[in-house]
Structure 1
Amino acid sequence: MCGICCVVSLTSSQRALHNHVYELLRHRGPDHSQDVTTNSLDPEYSCFFSAHVLHMRGSLTPQPLQDDRGNLFLWNGEVFGGLTVEPGENDTKVILGYLSACKSPSDVLSILGQVKGPWAIIYYQKEEHCIWFGRDFFGRRSLLWSWGLNESLFTLTSVSSRSLDPRSSVCLEVPAVGVYRVDLKSRSQRESLKVEVYPWGDLHSDFTWEGLPSSVSIVMNNSGLVLLSPTSPMNMSTTDVEKNSCRSSQPSLDDLKMLLASSGKQETIHRLVDVLGEAVHRRVQHLPHQCNPHQAKVAILFSGGIDSMILAVLADRYIPADQPIDLLNVAFKLQESKLNQGLGKKVRNKGHTIPDDIAMSKFDVPDRITGRAGLQELAALSPKRKWNFVEINVTQEELKELRVRNICHLVHPLDTVLDDSIGCAVWFAARGRGFLSEGTQARQHCSAAKVVLTGIGADEQLAGYSRHRVRFKTSGLQGLVKELAMELGRISSRNLGRDDRIIADHGKEARFPYLDEDVVSFLNTLPVWEKADLSLPRGLGEKLLLRLAAVELGLGPCAVLPKRAMQFGSRIAKLENSREKASEKCSRLTTS
């Protein structure tokens, strides 16, 4: 993980980076910072590069990394496949080595197209006077662009600041539709700045570039070059199949076991466990040493739900048994009026028994209750593992203070009520500052894990959201398939850039096993009815394949927990105006 930035001035004058943006970039990469400035008189321009490294792999490698020809490389990513990076090697050096040997744009695309894993790059080719930049196929790493309204300045950066004057620049997320190339030689005082696009396959004809100033023109590259998609195309088949049956509207673990026995899906389930297990394996191995060997190297955003439970079980397979795993569970303080509304009883009524010795408190939100139950399941499956269930409690006062000071800038340029709720919940969870309960005692704990696993991508691929049920009821399998294809196509702009900025603010790296290219390719080959059956009740039909895999892995009641969005499970949504719609602009993200 790194914070990377490039400021290009299309005049001889140099432009400095805003102090607040520089500070946010340093949060992302606390292990090494370095700035480099280049100048050119023919054509006339200057470039300021700033890179801040979070050391994750091989030897610590300062960035911007420069080769013998003066090319500069800024890399924010991880190579989990495609190109060979040995355990002791640094992937930044490996990729620059490949890029330095490139003699044409097609060579550059060939290298980037082979990388499996999350990335964002800025690559300056000195002799060609051009800058390449872009994000991976899913947009798992943040990259923003802002364009000076004076038509002589543009900036690429991992993170920006809401406090910057909107009259002087427009800041947007770089669309994750391909790789971009800016030829600085072609720009004169009378021309607009031309940005060439090299898309991931065929770019949809209805795609529009929104919010760009008139001084910028986005054009497809003249050679017709494209990047090959790193995943298989989605199976759009909608053949009618025999529906599964369930005995009641309140599904139980027995219902799921019965479906597992009669489904004939054992081979598919085993393949899912294998490919997802390998994705987790790649993301928890070869990690840097901790100063304290008793601290966890890996943490999981943990609600006790099916997505995070499966990540925990699979991580347990590949992390040495003597190393703890941090389970990060966030809760926002309930109002007094909510304490006596029987949250524990509500969960019990759904068939999930909660121990009687867990007393209700102001932080006993739904995700805290299911998280504790999930901890018991994990402890039963792997009793020798030290599971650190980190209870992260947030008051409304702390939320307000840190939203204004930190979180609103990280969410930017997104600005909806949903972005606010999820952004705040993820920020406090990833910070990892809470306490561990040990018997009747509790002690403070702050997770030092640099790797944070998150379950994003499971719902989008396996029909986990309530809107998928609505679409299925109104449009059948055909409508559901189209909805899932849209979900995966827009995940970069809805979730991933934001969550990368949020988690990286703590000097930690978000990793997304469900969005591993091999996992997505496998799920894309399956027809939709193999992945979900929305004719079955909640807690069973959505993400059915994953629930069956959970039973196969030995999990219990968590396998039939219905989907609960983080903003509701953590109860942050209850702290604000309940009449707000998720898609509305959020006034709380506006700083004074």
Structure 2
Amino acid sequence: MCGIALIVSGIRFHISSFISDSPRKSHKLLFTLDDLKASLRRRGPDSLGVKKVLLHHNVSAKNPITSVVEDDDDEVHELQSMMLCSGNTDNSGQCDNFSVGKPAAAELRFIGATLQLRGINPQVQPLVDSSGNVLVYNGEIFGGHNLASDCNDSEFLMQALGKCCSCGSCLTGECVQCGKSSIADVLSTIKGPWAIIYWQGSSNTLWFGRDAFGRRSLLVHWPTEDDPTFLLSSVSPVSPSQQESEYEAPNGMGCLSYWEELPCGIYHVYVNASNTNGHLVGEIKKYEFTNSMLNELIKWERTSIEPNSEDLQISRHEFSRRHDMHSPSLEAVPCELGSTQPAILTPAHILLNALKESVLRRTSLYTIYQAMISGIKQESFVPVAVLFSGGLDSMILAALLDQCLDPIYRISAKAGLKELKRVAPCRRWRLVEIDANLSDLVLETSHVMSLINPANTFMDLNIGIALWLASGGEGCLPVANGDENDDNHARIRYKSTARILLVGSGADEQCAGYGRHRTSYRRGSWLGLHEEMRLDMQRIWKRNLGRDDRCIADNGKEARFPFLDEDVIRVLLNIPLWEVANLDQPSGIGDKVILREVAKMLGLFEAAVLPKRAIQFGSRIARESNRKNFGSNRAANQASAGSVGIYKK
């Protein structure tokens, strides 16, 4: 994982083709470069690097001359003796009409802070290759490209992008002139979460973007007339003085609409100096993903939405049979999927297989870098934790993690401990109890407000605080007589060393777990339910994932979302909607019915009947916040606190 950022000055951007034409507010830049570095460093504590790309006017050609330099405490040093020239050259191969001493016409400053989880050699971002290409990458490649288990994602991607077409004759597909793949094709093929900023030096082109579901945060400040700076960043930094002055009153926050969530997609900026009166200009264009299968997932079209009477009759019969807690067929299903699996798989079996593969990809198919360099003994190293909200989704992830993770490892958990012990008695489960009083978290609350930005409601804040506190992994570990699995326990202070957190995001959106899904079903039947679920999935990047990634990553942890694996999404879309949810049944039974079947197959019978309880309520953060900001839960409900904005827009 990496915290990434880009600061661009001296280029006039044209962006009207894909953002609103309405007047855009300009706001003063409220943080310094050091503030930005500090915020990124919390996400990537292993290393921090800064590189500059300097663009100089070349009067003989429309393309500027570029040089890549290293930024060290704001003193510029040459990274290479070579100067990269995309304009005209004389017979000696030297760039004409150019003086090294001339001030740059434009500057692109790349910043990368790395939390290394993969590969055996330390990596410091930004990465720069011999062609002058610069990369900062925050992501994981779980499929689509063939990586060795000890290979670093960023290093692999740098090599793959360096082989891409740079002649500019085509931006997607195989180039008809050079026969090379396009950068858009390489990015569209990645299975897994990612955010990227990439400078292709040979073509003076900037590429940036987010994966199709927005699983990694990338914020953008679009240039305005008052503030022409173009910025990209994993996180919204806040200066200490701003925290002290603007965050004192929770109901009177200062305006922080400087940033926006970058919409998912691939963006391309070609920088040139032609017909611009000596100015460098760049037009920002957005491209669709070139992978047809990925585009089908983005559309989120389900094959079977509305059942006929025969479908419903079969479904009701199966529903009654499956929900008999003493059904022999349920008891015969093994926890470990293997040769005893039924020849004809039910939808729940198919989903269970896909989820297990998803968890396996996110926990086992790589070498954990930190354990190798720190000399931590394997038996005491905890590579993965499950972020619990106390419900069905987290229990499924924990049970699957037990099947996928090497038996020598222990797992940190937050809830459901008794049932997990029963299902996997040989696993040493660690229940880390994280207690906090909201009234004592004044500075922490201010900090979380900067993390959720540009999200700005009390619901966002409550969720953000719960995620930030839980992902920190610092609390109390129940122990008694040296046996941490003893229920009659004392508690000792403990901090989880796990750098990877499995999170259940995406389960409710895809399996009808929210109350609004039940409302949509009552109003519009099956089609209404499908449309509401599709809306949730198509806006999850904006409403949830960017915010959640920033709050979790601030603790130096990487969130991974098994329910949002591309193959899991595809499996769920191929299952008839009435097999995914049965909202004629009451809460705790009909919602997420397919996940409840999965839980039973894993032996989690108690978890299979748990009603939905959001993390802000399960952690009681919402109750404390409502009392603090509205006086009581009742007053908060009357004020619709979940949608009340904190910041002044």
Q: Normalized against structure 2, the TM-score is what? A: 0.74
- The reply to whether residue 517 of structure 1 matches residue 598 of structure 2 is no
2:258 to 170, 174, 177: 170
2:463 match: secondary structure: helix
Residue of structure 2 equivalent to 1:346: none
**Residue from 344, 360, 384 that aligns with 1:281:** 360
Structure 1: which amino acid aligns with 2:201? K
Question: Is 1:20 matched with 2:62?
Answer: no
Identify unmatched segments of 5+ residues in structure 2. Answer: 13-28, 58-63, 65-104, 173-181, 247-253, 332-341, 480-487
**CA distance in 2 between partners of 1:168 and 1:407 (Å):** 13
- Decide whether the 8 Å contact of 2:126 with 2:136 is kept in 1: yes
| 1-structure distance, mates of 2:329, 2:533 | 24
Q: Which residue number in structure 1 is paired with residue 381 of structure 2?
A: 295
Alignment match, 1:216: none
Kindly indicate whether the alpha-carbon contact (under 8 Å) linking 2:271 and 2:280 is maintained by their aligned counterparts in 1.
Answer: no
Q: Is 1:156 the counterpart of 2:218 in the alignment?
A: no
Q: Give the aligned partner of residue 383 of structure 1.
A: 425
Q: Counterparts in 2 of 1:88-103, with a 5 A limit?
A: 88-103=150-165
Report the residue type matching 1:234 in the other structure.
E
Match of 1:347 in 2: none
User: Does the aligned pair in 1 maintain the 2:223–2:230 contact within 8 Å?
Assistant: yes
* Cα deviation 1:525-549 (Å, max 9, x = unaligned): 1121111110111111011011011
Counterparts of 1:175 and 1:325 in 2: how far apart (Å)? 35
Q: Which of 295, 298, 303 lines up with 1:229 in the alignment?
A: 295
CA deviation map 1:405-460 (0-9, x unaligned) = x2111111111111111001000000011111123311111111000000001000
Distance (Å, rounded) in 1 between the aligned partners of 2:306 and 2:280: 50
* Aligned residue in 2 for 1:584: 643
Aligned partners of 1:73 and 1:122 also within 8 Å: yes
Matched position secondary structure for 1:393: coil
Return closer, same or farther for 1:393/1:586 CA change in 2, 3 Å cut-off. farther
Indicate how the Cα distance of structure 1 residues 228 and 267 shifts in structure 2: closer, same or farther if over 3 A, else same.
Answer: closer
Query: What do the CA deviations read for 1:277-318 (whole angstroms, capped 9, x no partner)?
Result: 010001111223434331311011113311000100110011
Q: Determine if the alignment matches structure 1 residue 494 to structure 2 residue 515.
A: no
Match of 1:180 in 2: 267
Gaps of 5+ in 1: 202-224, 330-370
Q: Give the count of matched residue pairs.
A: 517
Q: How does 1:550-565 map to 2 (within 5 A)?
A: 550-565=599-614
Measure how far apart 1:586 and its partner are. 3.7
Letter in 2 for 1:182: V
1 CA distance for matches of 2:327 and 2:238? 50
Residue in structure 2 matching 1:416, options 457, 475, 488: 457
Q: Distance in 2 between matches of 1:3 and 1:252?
A: 46
Match of 1:231, SS?
A: helix
2:106 partner amino acid: Y
Identity %: 37
Secondary structure of 1:102 counterpart: coil
Matched with 1:217 is none
Report the RMSD for the aligned CA atoms in angstroms. Answer: 3.1
**Contact 1:415–1:586 (CA under 8 A) maintained in structure 2:** yes
User: Offset of 1:155 from its aligned partner?
Assistant: 0.7
Task: Give the drift of 1:22.
Answer: 1.5
Distance 1:239 1:227, change over 3 A: closer
1:313-462 matches, cutoff 5 A: 313-327=399-413, 329=414, 371=415, 374-404=416-446, 406-438=447-479, 439-462=488-511
Distance 1:28 1:500 in 2: 10
Report the 3-state secondary structure (helix = DSSP H, G, I; strand = E; otherwise coil) of the residue aligned with 1:392: coil
Which of 194, 200, 204 is equivalent to 2:283? 194
- Provide the secondary structure at the position in 2 that maps to 1:121: strand
Distance in 2, Cα, partners of 1:169 & 1:543: 36
Distance 1:192 1:131, change over 3 A: closer
CA gap of 1:259–1:409, structure 2 versus 1, over 3 A, is farther
Alignment of 1:117 with 2:200, yes or no, is no
One-letter amino acid of the structure 1 residue matched with residue 551 of structure 2? I
Q: Secondary structure at the match of 1:180?
A: strand
Q: Specify which of 129, 132, 136 is matched with residue 70 of structure 1.
A: 132
Do residues 238 (structure 1) and 306 (structure 2) align? yes
Aligned counterparts of 1:581 and 1:257: Cα–Cα separation in 2: 43
Q: How do residues 107-146 of structure 1 correspond to structure 2 at under 5 angstroms? A: 107-146=182-221
Q: How much does 1:399 deviate?
A: 2.8
Deviation, structure 1 residue 255: 5.5
- Taking structure 1 as reference, are residues 548 and 198 closer, same or farther at Cα in structure 2, changes over 3 Å only? same
Aligned counterpart in structure 1 of residue 111 of structure 2, from 22, 46, 50: 50
SS in 1 for 2:346: helix
Matched residue type, 1:403: T
Higher alpha-carbon Rg:
2
Structure 1 CA distance for aligned equivalents of residues 393 and 218 of structure 2: 27
Cα distance, 1:138 vs structure 2: 0.4
Indicate conservation of the 8 Å contact 1:253/1:556, yes or no: no
> Counterpart amino acid of 2:464?
G
Q: What amino acid does structure 2 have at the position aligned with 1:38? A: V
Paired residue for 2:521, among 472, 491, 501? 472
Does 1:312 pair with 2:398? yes
Show CA shifts across 1:218-274 (max 9, x none): xxxxxxx9995273853153133326569x99x99746959969xx99522221111
AA in 1 matched with 2:115: L
Amino acid at match of 1:409: S
Contact 1:399 / 1:424 at 8 angstroms: preserved in 2?
no
Cα deviation digits, residues 124-156 of structure 1 (max 9, x gap): 012222210000010000001113443531111
The offset of 1:18, in angstroms, is: 2.8
Number of the residue aligned with 1:481: 530
Alpha-carbon deviation of 1:67? 1.4
CA contact under 8 A between 2:128 and 2:134: conserved in structure 1?
yes
Contact map agreement 1:326 1:389 (CA 8 A) in 2: yes
Give the structure 1 partner of residue 45 of structure 2. Answer: 30
Is the contact made by 2:272 and 2:280 (CA closer than 8 Å) also made in structure 1?
no
Aligned to 2:177: none
1:120 counterpart letter in structure 2:
A
Q: Which residue of the other structure, out of 577, 586, 590, is the alignment partner of 1:541?
A: 590
CA distance in 1, matches of 2:111, 2:127: 11
CA contact (8 A) 1:147 1:169 kept: no
Cα separation, partners in 2 of 1:432 and 1:539, compared to 1, 3 Å: same
- The alpha-carbon deviation at position 583 of structure 1 amounts to 4.7
Q: 1:505 aligns with which of 554, 561, 565?
A: 554
Query: Is 1:84 aligned to 2:146, yes or no?
Result: yes
The answer to whether the Cα contact below 8 Å between 1:234 and 1:525 also exists between their aligned partners in 2 is no
Cα distance, 1:266–1:11 mapped onto 2, change above 3 Å:
closer
1:585 Cα shift?
Answer: 4.0
**Within 2, Cα distance between the matches of 1:416 and 1:453?**
25
Give the direction of change, closer, same or farther, for the CA distance of 1:183–1:170 in structure 2 (3 Å limit). farther
Aligned equivalents of 1:511, 1:376: Cα separation in 2: 25
Q: Is the 8 A contact 1:2 1:28 kept in 2?
A: yes
Greater mean alpha carbon deviation, residues 425-434 or residues 303-312: 303-312
Which letter maps to 2:267?
A: Y
Q: 1:467 to 1:19 in 2, by over 3 A?
A: same
Q: Which amino acid aligns with 2:4?
A: I
Q: CA deviation at 1:563?
A: 0.5
